[in-house]
């Protein structure tokens, strides 16, 4: 028996989640692309996107709307973890167990990102002033704590390996292109199909680059016993500038992130064209 959550409220939650996730990536990619060629903007992660929204009229409200959309995406991921839509409900194989873990992890991850967009509005009610710098110091303190013990270093090695595996997985998805269904099933949507496919491939490559650099940072943290080396997504993008033609590399990666965002926006509209999970 298959479970197909393609109707009703579940489909609406899924579409809202994918659309919002796409908007966030388009915003991050656009700000980074402008910064790459000194045209304004800023090399950005989700924190940079939040800061940009706060410069706009009703910025806190917009951030809350984005947070709501990302909560929808998290709920969709938790739904997948529980019910594995598109597979046999009684499937208890190791592969299905891995899928459940991946969906659950993704739900938690985007839940935290949703909270980062909601925090400015919450702070306006609580009158707190703690900013991202304080949070960065806490992250560095946690890494320093892990570096102080052998088991902590092992944890960092494991995280670095997982992130590296995620990078390789992104490249594999881009190479295989199996995130799209066969075109012969949708002959009337050829142009949109091709656009979605190319945006997705370019986007997955860009994500693979970012994940790969983050993994490299984590390895350097261990080898040099220096938590300050870890810079996160923004640091990974800034690292591209250290190479020859760094602006072009950064610009291309930023365009890839924009493509990844457009891909998710199109998936929200044409869920039937993809196998994206």
- Give 67-80 pLDDT, tens digit per residue: 999 999 999 999 98
**Position 133 pLDDT exceeds 80:** no
**Average pLDDT of 256-273?**
84
Q: What is the DSSP string of 140-197?
A: HHHHHHHHTSHHHHHHHHHHHHHHHHHHHHHHHHHHH-TTB--GGG-GGGHHHHHHHH
Task: Answer yes or no: are the C-beta atoms of 221 and 227 closer than 8 Å.
Answer: yes
Which phi and psi angles does 216 have, rounded to 5°?
-60, -40
Confidence of residue 39 (pLDDT cuts 50, 70, 90): confident
pLDDT at 276: 60
CB-facing half-sphere around the CA of 29: CA atoms within 13 A: 25
Instruction: Single out the residue of 238, 235, 206 nearest to residue 218, CA to CA.
Output: 235
**Whole-number Cα distances in Å, 41 to 27, 88, 199, 203, 253:** 10, 46, 22, 20, 15
The residue written with tokens 């990536």 in the block is 25
In the numeric block, the tokens 């899924």 are attached to 14
Residue 208: pLDDT over 90: yes
Q: Average pLDDT in the 35-54 region?
A: 82
The Cα–Cα gap between 54 and 162 comes to 33
Confidence of residue 188 (pLDDT cuts 50, 70, 90): low
Instruction: Flag whether pLDDT at 160 surpasses 90.
Output: yes
- Is this prediction's pTM over 0.85? no
Total residue count of the chain as it appears in this document: 277
**What pLDDT score was predicted for residue 67?**
92
């Amino acid at each position: 028996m298959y479970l197909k959550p393609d109707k009703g409220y579940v489909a609406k939650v899924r579409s809202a989640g994918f659309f919002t996730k796409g908007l966030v990536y388009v915003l991050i990619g656009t700000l980074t692309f402008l910064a790459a060629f000194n045209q304004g903007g800023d090399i950005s992660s989700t924190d940079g996107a939040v800061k940009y929204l706060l410069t706009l009229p009703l910025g806190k409200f917009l951030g809350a709307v984005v947070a709501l959309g990302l909560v929808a995406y998290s709920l969709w991921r938790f739904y997948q973890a529980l019910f594995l839509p598109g597979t046999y409900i009684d499937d208890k194989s190791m592969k299905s167990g891995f899928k459940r873990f991946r969906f659950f992890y993704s739900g938690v991850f985007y839940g935290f990102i949703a909270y980062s967009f909601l925090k400015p509005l919450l702070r306006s009610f609580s009158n707190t002033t703690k900013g991202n710098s304080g949070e960065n110091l806490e992250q560095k303190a946690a890494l320093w704590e892990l570096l102080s013990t052998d088991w902590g270093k092992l944890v960092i090695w494991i995280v670095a390996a997982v992130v590296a595996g995620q990078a390789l997985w992104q490249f594999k998805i881009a190479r295989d292109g199996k995130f799209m269904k066969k075109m012969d099933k949708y002959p009337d949507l050829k142009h949109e199909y091709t656009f979605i496919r190319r945006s997705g491939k370019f986007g997955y490559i860009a994500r693979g680059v970012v994940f790969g650099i983050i993994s490299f940072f984590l390895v350097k943290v261990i080898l040099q016993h220096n938590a300050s080396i870890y810079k996160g997504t923004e640091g990974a993008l800034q690292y591209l500038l250290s190479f020859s033609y760094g602006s072009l590399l950064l610009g291309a990666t930023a365009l890839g992130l924009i493509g990844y965002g457009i891909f998710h926006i199109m998936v929200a509209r044409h869920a039937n064209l993809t196998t994206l999970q």
